[in-house]
């Protein structure tokens, strides 16, 4: 290897979920070692249980610090976080599982903040277990925002050649239209542009999706484009940002795929999710931008119904690792300019 | 050719738009003649102008009835509708253009109702020209519904392996949630199932998309799934229909692509449009089901800004012709069982 490979911290998530399995499956494939040196934050008993569940015999090697990760295919290097003595029950909400999943994340964040790892890749936590464990955070985002924000963190989906930001996410459909305001868009656009820059895109152009069908057809099917979105785009342009839109949502992702835009700001969860996940369900990787380090994650949950059965599809984790490997050092360098 | 080829009536739409150009471009390609015998409803002067605009020298042959369409590559067979003596100005709204576009459609519908053609493929009309011409209809759908309804007509998008119906379409985003009612879904589901059957799918399974992110997560982000959609799905199941859902919208199209569902009922315009057109923008074909014959159409407008320049992309028309060619005879046979 001539090129320096980033060290990726992987957190296995809730030990009762599919996180440990997608981790050991993905790290039993030689692919990722071409571009990264992975190190897993976990307990040995959980990794052993996951390997057994998947019928894998990949070697486990404990390392005392990330720099010792060898990056060799066939060996899973891990940091022994030391929470669990034995694996929890698969597919069951528990205090122990919640606490363990949180602690793996906590340690990986500390390593990233200390510069010992170059990015963090996370497997899913379980909200109910986190709540049972009373760790004080409801999900990954809450922990990451509290511990590691540099700017206002934003989720960025990468799928195929698409890069998609979200103005709103986990709110009821009925609340979407009211949540799309001039000040919200004004605040989001510079961050989107900055984060595309962090990925190494020079002078990025961002498109803002429209809300109404056909972008409202000049008010015929809704006025948000005229009253809210277009004025915000104009303000951003006057500030020198390369922003286009509002572009009808059934065209904007196609146009971005064709290279007309470097990124798309979608206005609501499903708008961007449908585009990314219809196009490449397993290849859709979620990045958290605006932290002090790059974080990528799988976009599925703990899937308690199939945990421990060895049948979970690990393509989401493989892609999360690939994307982290691709961007980690660049993001790190640009954050410390 | 061993297999019987359907006769496809093609209406060129508004003569001032890109319809004539996409028609002559698509019919100058030998592809479609493998599976269909096309016959264009137009005026010769418009076709001549379109060929000239596109730099094509394909032969035009007037036929007095559709059965005489030869289906030979290199010859565009047309019915002389006899409205215009000379081509209208490209890209300009006009009474003449509106009247001509309407008349081509009117004649093609009459031919389809008489069984002289097996399906109708339409190029775009211009709403402003139709209005100027005072033909009494605002668009294709209005004409087709008035003249040729058999059941309640519905639009069906075909893209890649996806088949997508729409519960609501051209309404403001803010009105979507209220438009999704139990009675509306109850009315739509049997039609969707029937129309999949018309395409030759035996015992089709239909998925209904969810409205809220993650399908609402049991009421956390909206209650329409619990209060409206799931009960309607249950009612349909009790009536013996194979219906699933509500399925989160960022998964349902992927699952349909994988073959789990034969069709998806999307709840609003962009939900289904984003899926289809992000996946295959030019390959997305719009079918109108529930008429007395199959109708397919391009999914773009008259594009007055580029009309007459020969630069319009004809992939939408090529695909509309291919899909009509594929399904026309089967739909016809099943409608007359």
Q: How far apart are alpha carbons B71 and B34 in whole angstroms?
A: 8
N residues, chain A:
337
Backbone dihedral region for residue B241 (phi beyond 0: left; psi -120 to 50: alpha; all else: beta): beta
Nearest neighbour of B221 by CB, restricted to A171, A214, A273: A171
The CA distances from residue B95 to B6, B88, B106, B134, B302, in Å, are 33, 10, 16, 8, 15
Which of A67-71, A216-220, B196-200 bottoms out in mean pLDDT, i.e. has the lowest?
A216-220
Cβ-in-10-Å burial (0-12, 13-18, 19+) of B86 comes to exposed
Structure tokens belonging to residue A69: 């990760």
Q: Please tell me the predicted confidence (pLDDT) of residue A1.
A: 45
Q: How far apart are alpha carbons B62 and B77 in whole angstroms?
A: 6
Q: Please tell me the predicted confidence (pLDDT) of residue B2.
A: 46
Does residue A212 belong to the interface with chain B, where contact is any CB pair within 8 Å? yes
Does residue A213 belong to the interface with chain B, where contact is any CB pair within 8 Å? yes
Greatest Cα-to-Cα distance within chain A, rounded to the nearest angstrom:
63
Does residue B219 belong to the interface with chain A, where contact is any CB pair within 8 Å? no
Kindly report, residue by residue over A186-202, the tens digit of the pLDDT: 999 999 999 999 999 99
- A176 CB neighbours in chain B (<8 A) are 173
Cβ-in-10-Å burial (0-12, 13-18, 19+) of B25 comes to buried
Q: Which residues contact A313 (CB under 8 A, 6 or more apart)?
A: A22, A282
Q: Please tell me the predicted confidence (pLDDT) of residue B96.
A: 96
Strands B59-62 and A162-166: unpaired
Q: Count the Cβ atoms, other than its own, within 10 Å of residue A311.
A: 12
Which of A157, A214, A274, A316 is most worth mutating to test chain B (most B CB atoms within 10 A of its CB)? A274
Q: Please tell me the predicted confidence (pLDDT) of residue B56.
A: 97
Q: Please tell me the predicted confidence (pLDDT) of residue B300.
A: 86
pTM, rounded to two decimals: 0.92
Residue contact A221–B171, C-beta within 8 A? yes
Work out the minimum CA distance from B270 to partner chain A, whole angstroms.
6
Q: How far apart are alpha carbons B233 and B242 in whole angstroms?
A: 9
Q: Please tell me the predicted confidence (pLDDT) of residue B247.
A: 97
B 256-285 near A (Cβ less than 8 A): 257, 268-271, 273-279, 281
Does residue B334 belong to the interface with chain A, where contact is any CB pair within 8 Å? no
- A250 CB neighbours in chain B (<8 A) are 269-270, 273-274, 276-278
pLDDT at A16 over 60: yes
Q: Please tell me the predicted confidence (pLDDT) of residue A106.
A: 97
Scanning every residue of chain B, which has its alpha carbon at the shortest distance from the alpha carbon of A282? B254
Q: Please tell me the predicted confidence (pLDDT) of residue A2.
A: 46
Task: Say how many Å lie between the first and final Cα of chain B, rounded.
Answer: 26
Task: Say how many Å lie between the first and final Cα of chain A, rounded.
Answer: 26
**Cα-based angle B146, B149, B152 (whole degrees, multiple of 5):** 110
Residue A78 pLDDT grade (very low, low, confident, very high; cuts 50, 70, 90): very high
Residue A93 pLDDT grade (very low, low, confident, very high; cuts 50, 70, 90): very high
Residue contact B278–A275, C-beta within 8 A? yes
Q: Please tell me the predicted confidence (pLDDT) of residue B250.
A: 95
DSSP, res A219: B
Kindly report, residue by residue over A287-323, the tens digit of the pLDDT: 999 999 999 999 889 999 999 999 999 999 999 999 9
Q: Are B152 and B187 in contact (CB under 8 A)?
A: yes
Strand pairing partners for A159?
A: A162
Residue contact A213–B173, C-beta within 8 A? yes
Q: How far apart are alpha carbons A63 and A41 in whole angstroms?
A: 10
DSSP letters spanning B203-260: S--EEEEPSSGGGGTTBTTBSHIIIIIHHHHHHHHHTT--EEEEE-HHHHHHHHHTTS
Structure tokens belonging to residue A150: 């540099």
Which of B274, B275, B282 is most worth mutating to test chain A (most A CB atoms within 10 A of its CB)? B274
Residue contact B268–A174, C-beta within 8 A? no
- A214 CB neighbours in chain B (<8 A) are 170
pLDDT < 70 positions in chain B? 1-2, 337
Structure tokens belonging to residue B308: 């007459």
DSSP letters spanning B11-77: E---TTSSHHHHHHHHHTSGGGGGT-EEEEEE-HHHHHHHHHHHT---EEEE-SSGGG----TTEEE
Kindly report, residue by residue over B208-229, the tens digit of the pLDDT: 999 999 999 889 899 999 999 9
Residue contact A254–B277, C-beta within 8 A? yes
ipTM: 0.91
- Of all helices (H) and strands (E), which one includes residue A102? helix A95-113
Domains of chain A: 1-155+281-337 (3.40.718.10), 161-279 (3.40.718.10)
Residue A337 pLDDT grade (very low, low, confident, very high; cuts 50, 70, 90): low
């Amino acid at each position: 290897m001539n090129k320096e490979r980033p060290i990726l911290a992987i957190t296995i998530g809730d030990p009762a979920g599919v996180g440990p399995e997608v981790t050991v499956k993905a790290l039993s494939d030689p692919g990722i070692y071409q571009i990264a040196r992975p190190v897993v934050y976990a307990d040995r008993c959980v990794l052993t249980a996951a390997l057994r569940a998947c019928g894998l015999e990949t070697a486990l090697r404990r390392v005392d610090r990330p720099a010792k990760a060898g990056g060799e295919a066939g060996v899973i290097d891990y940091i022994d976080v030391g929470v669990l003595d034995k694996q929890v029950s698969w597919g069951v909400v528990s205090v122990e599982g919640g606490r363990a999943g949180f602690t793996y994340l906590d340690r990986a964040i500390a390593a990233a903040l200390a510069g010992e790892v170059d990015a963090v890749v996370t497997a899913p936590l379980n909200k109910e277990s986190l709540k049972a464990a009373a760790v004080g955070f409801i999900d990954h985002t809450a922990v990451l925002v509290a511990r590691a924000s540099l700017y206002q963190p934003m989720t960025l989906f990468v799928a195929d050649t698409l890069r998609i930001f979200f103005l709103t996410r986990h709110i009821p459909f009925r609340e979407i239209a009211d949540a799309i305001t001039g000040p919200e868009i004004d605040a989001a656009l510079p961050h989107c542009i900055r984060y595309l820059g962090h990925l190494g895109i020079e002078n990025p152009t961002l498109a803002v999706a429209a809300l109404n069908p056909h972008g409202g057809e000049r008010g015929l099917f809704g006025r948000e484009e005229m009253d809210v979105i277009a004025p915000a785009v104009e303000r951003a342009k006057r500030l020198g940002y390369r922003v286009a839109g509002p572009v009808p949502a059934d065209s904007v992702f196609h146009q971005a795929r064709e290279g007309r835009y470097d990124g798309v700001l979608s206005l609501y969860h499903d708008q961007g999710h449908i585009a990314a996940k219809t196009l490449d369900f397993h290849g859709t990787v979620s990045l958290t931008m605006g932290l002090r380090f790059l974080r990528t994650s799988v976009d599925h949950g703990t899937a308690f119904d199939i945990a421990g059965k060895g049948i979970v599809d690990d393509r989401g984790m493989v892609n999360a690792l690939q994307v982290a490997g691709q961007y980690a050092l660049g993001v790190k360098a640009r954050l410390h300019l």
